[in-house]
Structure formats: C-alpha cells, structure tokens
Structure 1
Amino acid sequence: MIVRTCLPFCLLFAAFLPLAFAVDPLPSWNDGPNKKAIIDFVEKVTKAGTPDFVPVEERISVFDNDGTLWCENPLPFQAIFAADELKTLLPDHPEWREDPSVKAFLKSDIAALSANHYKGLLEIIALTHAGITPDEFTARVKQWLATAKHPRFDRPFTECVYQPMLELLSYLRANDFQTWIVSGGGVDFMRVFAEGTYGIPPEQIIGSYSLVRFEMKDGKPVLTKTVDSLFIDDKGGKPVGIHTFLGRRPIAAFGNSNGDQAMIEYTTIDNPRPSFGLIVHHTDAEREYAYDANPKSTGKLTTALEVAPKYGWTVVDMKNDWKTILP
C-alpha cells in the first residue's frame, strides 16, 4: 500500500529532476567559452570526492564593486555623492572655497581631481564624510540613494547594477560560496546598500577606510568618522585588506581594472586550491560604456588585460557576452 502511494510521487520527481538541473544559472550570459568557464569552475570545486573539491569554508569569492558590479561612469557613484554633499554643505563652510580641491570641483576640473592618485577627489570625500557619526553618514547616503539618479540612465544608482553579475553572485551562493566585496570605495558607503542590492552583508565588505574615534558624550558612547590613517583598498591594498579582514585566501576573484590586478594575482597565482580570475571588459558604448586604456574617470584596464592570457583569466566582453546589462 505504501509503495502504491509513493510511486506516483517518485515518478513525478524523476520526470522533473532533469528540468531542475537544466535551468540556466546565468540566463543573462550568452552561451560561449566565458560562461562555460564559470560553470565548469563551480562544478569542479563543488564535486565531492574529486581532487579539485574545495571545502565549503574555503569557497571564498571576492568582487570589486565600481565597474564590476555596477557602473563607474561618469564618476564612481561615491564621488557623485560627495559632490552633491559638497554643494549642500558649501554655504555653511565658505572657507572651503579656498581649498584647491574645492576650486577644481567648482570648475569641473576632473583632471585636477584625478591627479596624484585622485588626491583631490579624496580631499573632497574627506571634507564631506568626516566629523560626523557613522549613523549620520548612513542616513545621508540613504537619503541620497532614495532621490539621486544616474545622469545618463535616469534611474536610481542602485539600479545601475549589472544583471549578469547579480546572477553570478546568486549562482555562487547557491553553491555555498561566500561573496565578498573588496573595493576602493568607502566601506561605510558600500555597507549602506550592498545587502539590499547584492545580497552581500556588511561584514563581508572590505573597502577604503580611515580611523573612527570613540568617546563618551553625555553618558552615551559615540563614534566619529575622521580622515586619520586613511587606508586605500586598491591595487596592492586589496590583497592586504583580504589578509587583514578576511583571513583566508579566495579561490575566485572578479574585477575590471588594473586596480584589481593584484587581487586577482593573489587569488590565482600559486594558490594551492583551484582558482578562477575574471575581468569585466567594458566594450559596449551603446548599452553602457566602452573604455580600457583611456577611461573617462576610473577603471583603467591595460596591464591586467595584458597578463590575463598568461594566467588563464577569463576576460568578459560585455558587448558579446552579456544579453542584457542593466536589470
């Protein structure tokens, strides 16, 4: 009697099982060698009983943010936020107008702000981000994200994310990967939106940061953001940040620029575990932007692109590999 009852359900399950496994985990990716490379890697390291199997606790993937998970033009979005904050705060701080970085900003002198490793841009960020509590900063970012729109795409900045990369994040997590952001952007800035936008919690974000000061005020604990001991999580800083805050070597790294090269090298060269490196190459001026050697703001891609074949990194051609770009 029990067999008769269960048999139809077993047959039904068997009928639908091939369909379940046939579901495309990356539907916004065109079929081809790059999509296949991703899936082959994930299947390889998750197949128990094989030499390439990687235990769940070591399945760590790291992602750059600007230009890898969302757009970085016409400027990185945190820079646009800082610029909007400067406009709001400038009337209360007329002395700022004598600052060379502020003068460059008021003249829209991107070259001056970008010079010397974006020194001017960092000074603008320092003026607008420091001297307030993390909670106050979070509230300002939330308010800005709720109202500001991308100047080209006319949509909220949190909707200027790459649909194929959202699918990749979900696919990795479905296979028990941790997904970390390792970005030159400010860690406090990214913590505001990353969980809702990418499904990445605040504790899995490594970014640029400066010291936060603790003190008791009126019997209450207060944290205040400063610009002291600024750590830039870019280029060689990325492996340092991974070691310091993550404590394990990743087996998969995803970036889009020379600033991500050290992170991908650290992940893929002489790694005792199977590893995977991927570069997002911006090649679609019609649907997004096209740049590599001469970007409009950030995201220069030359040396990382040159060494990619040597190390077997996957280079994604946005125009040809992605069916769609923005959700």
Structure 2
Amino acid sequence: MHHKKTSYQLRHFLCLLFLVPYLSQAADTLPSWSDGPSRQAIERFVQAITEEGSKDYVPVAERIAVFDNDGTLWSEQPIYFQVLFAFSEVKRLAPEHPQWKAEQPFKAVLENDQKTLAASGMDGLMKIIGATHTGVTTDEFRESAERWLATAKHPKSDKPFTEMVFQPMLELLDYLRANGFKTYIVSGGEVEFMRAFAEEVYGIPPEQVIGTTFVTQFQDQDGQYSILREPKLALNDDGPGKPVSIQSVIGRRPILAFGNSDGDLQMLQWTMAGNGKRFAGLVHHTDANREWAYDRDSKIGQLNKALDEALKNNWTVVDMASEWKSIYPFNK
C-alpha cells in the first residue's frame, strides 16, 4: 500500500513538473516580449496607475491609450499598405477610365513604372488617392477595401496584409484592455480603410479608429440613403493633426501613446504634457532579418526628431531586434 502511494505521488510530481513551463507561459500576458527595459517599463506603468490607493492611480474612465497604425501596429515597408491598395484600385478601375492610359501618374501605375511614379511625388500620390478613395459612398469604399484585404498579398512575405501585424503589439492591446484601458488608433491612414479591418485584427471597434478623413455628404436618392465621399480633404491626421483629432473625437488626453515615426511626435508630446503618470513609447525598427531596419534617413516612417525627443525625455524606445521574441503571428 505504501509503495502504491509513493508511486502515485511520484507520478503526480512528474506531471506537475511537466506542466510548469506551460502554466507559466499561459500566465504570461506578454509572451512575445523579452524581459527587457520596454516590457518592464510598460508593466511598471500599468501596475502604478491601476493600484487603488496609490498616488498614481487613474480611474478606468481616464485610461485612454492611443496607437499609430503604420509601422506601430503593422509593417509599413516597402511602402504604406494603403498606397498599394490605391495602386491596385487604379488597375481595377482602369477600364472605366480609358484616359488613364495616357495620363500621369495613372499611366505609371498601369505600366508599373516605378521611376515615373516616384518622380510624381506627393502631388501624384494625392491624385491617385483622390481617384480611388472618393466619388463613391462609404459603403462602396468599405467593400473595395475589404475585397482587397481579403485577396492581396504582401510583396515580400506573400502573406495577407492583415497578417503583417505585430504580435507583441496585439498582446499589448489585450493587456491594456484587460487593465481597463480603452484603446484607440490615431493614424495618418484613411479612417474608413482602417475601419475595414481594425476590429477583426486589433479588437478596436470603428468608433475608436481615428484617421485622415475626406469631406462627406449625406445623400437621399429617392429614399436610398448614402454618404458620399468627396475629393476634398477634411483632416490630415498626421503630425500636429493627431492631437487635434484626439481632442475632437475622444475629448480626453490619453495617458499612454505609442508611435514609430516623426509623424507621431506631437501625439506623444500631447500625451506626456498632461498631469499625473504617463507613458510614451516608440517602436524602433531595428530588425533587418525578421522585418526591416530603418529610422533617421527613411522615406517611409522616418524616425529622427521623435527619436531625439524620446532619448532626451526618457520615453520608452522598443528595440524590435532585441526585445521582441517574434514579429508576426505567423512566426510565433
């Protein structure tokens, strides 16, 4: 009898020993983050503002977190994904616009003429965005965006663009929400384009997505109601436009902000200028093997002034290469 009891205890001990690593992994809310300075700073901040009775406690209603999208929540190389969507739309709509075969920059898109396209600059890009993003209803545009996202593949990874999201940031969003935060996207990307995937991919509902917007107009066509997207910019949600849109839409100053480029600088400054304990973070693209390495001299997602400001003010700068165990959900 004693032998059976000892044998049972041994089996029970070995079973527990086998399960320990899995139990510890299950308890880890940020499993893709190394135990480095960025993770420690995030956890210290969240612990401080959620501990009732502490001097840094923040009521749940005031726990607002804002995130840039391009380069912060998903990749942005070799070019912003929304621009690739616009190029695809030019090709899809070309039969309805035969003049595009001879008209720049549309001709360059149709012929994959990268040199001419690059030479057209921001003016050329805005023509393409205007032609592919306006003159349709919000419902029609959403359908176009969803159709592209469901079929298009990233040129480097050959994965859907919605899988080019950062696994550590998905975990961070969940971690913050589990601690009473309301999470918002505040991005230079067009708002309806991001709303086409943000809830499914990030768990962020459309009313918490803030982005660049076009002027819209309500239409009543014999009882058929729609909202028309007009070819006129209402708000460029980049740089100083970000704090303006945060105040306009949210009406509360965030206590946590995450970006990755100089376009996020004013959002981070605005967040940190408030009273009480606050957090500013930058995703620093340092991993040329698993993603891309770029910062001060990049034409896409340039991180120069914001990096200087972060280093000067002791903001959290996430070293992607050393602090993220995995980059995307598909390479966990």
Same fold (TM over 0.5): yes
**Counterpart selection for 1:108 from 114, 138, 154:** 114
- AA aligned to 2:118 is A
Quote the offset at 1:20 in angstroms. Answer: 8.5
Mapped pair 1:55 → 2:62: no
Mapped pair 1:83 → 2:87: yes
Paired residue secondary structure (1:210): strand
**Counterpart selection for 1:225 from 229, 235, 239:** 229
Paired residue secondary structure (1:209): strand
Q: Would the aligned equivalents of 1:212 and 1:224 in 2 still touch at CA under 8 Å?
A: yes
Paired residue secondary structure (1:228): strand
Partner of 1:9: none
Partner of 2:279: 276
Quote the offset at 1:147 in angstroms. Answer: 0.8
Q: Would the aligned equivalents of 1:133 and 1:223 in 2 still touch at CA under 8 Å?
A: yes
Quote the offset at 1:275 in angstroms. Answer: 0.6
Quote the offset at 1:101 in angstroms. Answer: 3.0
Paired residue secondary structure (1:153): coil
Quote the offset at 1:98 in angstroms. Answer: 4.8
Q: Unaligned stretches of 5+ in structure 2? A: 1-19
Provide the C-alpha distance between the structure 2 equivalents of 1:177 and 1:98, rounded to a whole number of angstroms: 51
Partner of 2:142: 138
Partner of 1:167: 171
TM-score by length of 1: 0.89
After superposition, residues 117-196 of structure 1 pair within 5 angstroms as 118-196=122-200
Provide the C-alpha distance between the structure 2 equivalents of 1:81 and 1:257, rounded to a whole number of angstroms: 22
Provide the C-alpha distance between the structure 1 equivalents of 2:216 and 2:305, rounded to a whole number of angstroms: 35
Quote the offset at 1:153 in angstroms. Answer: 0.8
Partner of 1:26: 30
After superposition, residues 87-102 of structure 1 pair within 5 angstroms as 87-102=91-106
- AA aligned to 2:293 is A
Partner of 2:322: 320
Cα RMSD after superposing both structures: 1.8
**Counterpart selection for 1:207 from 204, 207, 211:** 211
Moved more, 36-45 or 22-31: 22-31
- AA aligned to 1:301 is L
Rg larger in structure: 2
Mapped pair 1:291 → 2:298: no
Q: Summarize deviations over 1:255-289 as a string: whole Å, max 9, x none.
A: 000000110000012x1121100000001111001
Q: Would the aligned equivalents of 2:257 and 2:281 in 1 still touch at CA under 8 Å?
A: yes
Q: How many residues align?
A: 305
Paired residue secondary structure (2:235): coil
Q: Summarize deviations over 1:19-55 as a string: whole Å, max 9, x none.
A: 7899222110111111100000000000111110001
TM-score by length of 2: 0.88
Quote the offset at 1:97 in angstroms. Answer: 4.2
Partner of 1:8: none
Quote the offset at 1:90 in angstroms. Answer: 1.6
Provide the C-alpha distance between the structure 2 equivalents of 1:22 and 1:273, rounded to a whole number of angstroms: 33
Q: Would the aligned equivalents of 1:213 and 1:223 in 2 still touch at CA under 8 Å?
A: yes
